[in-house]
């Protein structure tokens, strides 16, 4: 499975104000993104669609 680059994840946290980012954060973020993606795909398929939408993502994030 594709993963977001660790440096990119750390930069996102620093850009929003984190002074330091622990080494395990990028792995945790990648796991969270994978679970959200899986949920969005399930939502899409349940609606009989092939294209995942932002609404599918919102549904997964709000429901969890």
Cβ-based burial of 2 (10 A; exposed 0-12, middle 13-18, buried ≥19): exposed
Mean pLDDT over the full length of the chain: 95
Instruction: Indicate the pLDDT class of residue 1, thresholds 50, 70 and 90.
Output: confident
Kindly provide the residue ranges of all beta strands, DSSP E only, lying in the chain, ordered along the sequence: none
Average pLDDT over residues 14-25: 98
> Where exactly are the structural domains of the chain?
6-15+23-59
At 21-59, the pLDDT tens digits run 999 999 999 999 999 999 999 999 999 999 999 999 999
Q: What's residue 64's pLDDT?
A: 52
CATH number among 3.90.330.10, 3.40.50.720, 1.10.20.10, 3.30.420.10, domain 6-15+23-59: 1.10.20.10
Reduced to 3 states (helix: H, G, I; strand: E, B; else coil), residue 2 is coil
């Amino acid at each position: 499975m594709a993963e977001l680059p660790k440096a990119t994840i750390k930069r996102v946290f620093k850009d929003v104000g984190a002074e330091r980012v622990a080494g395990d954060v990028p792995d945790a973020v990648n796991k969270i993104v994978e679970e959200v993606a899986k949920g969005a795909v399930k939502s899409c398929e349940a609606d009989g669609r092939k294209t995942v939408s932002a609404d599918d993502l919102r549904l997964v994030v709000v429901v969890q």
